[in-house]
Amino acid sequence: MDERLQQYDGKMKKTMANLESELTTIRAGRANPHVLDRIRVDYYGTPSPIQQVANVTVPEPRMLQIQPWEPGMIKVIEKAILASDVGITPTNDGKLIRLIFPELTEERRKDLVKEIKKKGENAKVAIRNIRRDANDGLKKLGKNSDISEDEIKELEEKVQKMTDQYVKEIDKAIDVKSREVLTV
């Protein structure tokens, strides 16, 4: 790959990785430990991910079990989950916290698919903005240096191919996640 295009490819990769991390936090009726990824708990004055202060397991398809390494962390973790946008009320027995994922209704599944598509569209817009920045950068390069118009056209075509490739990946990720959500 041309070194002049590497920075734009890196930005597109980051956009794709961001979309994938956003999609993992959407719950699809099954328990997925990634729904807890964005939640931070206060661990001796340091905001820490739940996975760093507790053992998170999936004992049943629709249940997450959180076992803190220190018993005093149960209340802190429980408060953090309640304050988050997970939308599930935790239950605790003094040793463990359980999150039971309710069965998704057909209407909720359709809403989640809309949300997935919206996130995908946002990612596509970000990719297209990166393409625009790349093309602007190439035009400036053409004005400021002794690079030929043919070389600029060739680089612009490479940028377009790169854009098309990432848009296809986004469509594929949206399709996979949508099917996962709609599967009962």
> What is the reported pLDDT for 119?
92
**For residues 174 and 119, what is the distance between their CA atoms, to the nearest angstrom?**
9
- What was the pLDDT predicted at 58? 87
Task: Determine the length of the chain.
Answer: 184
Give tens-digit pLDDT for 167-178: 999 999 999 988
Distance, C-alpha 114 to centroid of its chain: 15
pLDDT of residue 184: 62
**Alpha-carbon gap, residue 1 to 6, rounded angstroms:** 7
Sheet holding 63-68, edge to edge: 54-60, 63-68, 97-100, 91-92
Model-level pTM?
Answer: 0.71
User: In which residue ranges of the chain is pLDDT below 50?
Assistant: none
Q: Which domains does the chain have, with CATH numbers?
A: 3-24+105-182 (1.10.132.20), 33-100 (3.30.1360.40)
CA nearest neighbour of 22 among 154, 180, 174, 130: 174
